[in-house]
Chain A
Amino acid sequence: QVQLVESGGGMVQPGRSLRLSCEASGFTFSSYGMHWVRQAPGKGLEWVAVISYDGSNKYYADSVKGRFTISRDISKNTLYLQMNSLRAEDTAVYYCAKVISAYELLFGDTSFDSWGQGTLVTVSS
């Protein structure tokens, strides 16, 4: 069965960096696009970033563009989110999510059929 396990969250000061990881199992990781979605305290879900199944294409929400970098290591079945220049408004639970169909185009009308348990990132001085 599909399993996504995030790690790497924690408390960090504004302007510092953090790298989140999402270890995948139970499916062919190299065949599926992956996303990061976050939820700030008391708020709704917000899409953050996407990477294509082969890692060749990426896209970011305007709120994180230029500061966050999504990547994947097929050999380790792991998705990453490198977060630099963190701000207080980046405080949230970060979820990795798998798209429902294999080999989807980067930009597509898709849903997320599996999610990790989330990792909390707190940006505070």
Chain B
Amino acid sequence: QSVLTQPPSVSGAPGQRVTISCTGSSSNIGAGYNVHWYQKLPGTAPKLLIYGNSNRPSGVPDRFSGSKSGTSASLAITGLQAEDEADYYCQSYDTSLSGPWVFGGGTRLTVL
């Protein structure tokens, strides 16, 4: 059971927009801590996609965006491409016994 809750899977057709949610609690996202997002392709290292809720590292396409509100955060991907098919993880900081650095359980994105 992950501290941050993500849907196990989402899907969308090429060109469409999808969102992935990340729900936390008052000890992490709700406490004001940032949410970060990672993309992980099978057999490869995680790649930082979004940091500080909505910031993109250099080289990440602007098709990827992040937002945060209350105890939840979302990753949005527009103009879906086949290469976006991957696992996506949210991560935050947690002050409970589960922390300090916690991840969501991951969401598998399938491009139809």
Please report A residues at the B interface, Cβ cutoff 8 Å.
35, 37, 44-47, 50, 59, 62, 95, 97, 100, 107-118
Contact = CB atoms under 8 A, between A and B. Distances in A.
A113 B102 contact: no
A94 to B, nearest CB: 11
Interface of B: 2, 33-34, 36, 38, 40, 44-48, 51-52, 57, 89, 91-93, 97, 100-106
Given A111-B34, A111-B52, A44 B103 contact: yes
A97 B97 CA distance: 22
A113 B106 contact: no
12 contacts: A35-B101, A37-B46, A44-B89, A45-B103, A47-B100, A95-B46, A109-B33, A109-B92, A112-B36, A112-B38, A113-B48, A118-B45
Contact of B45 (A47, A95, A100, A107): A95
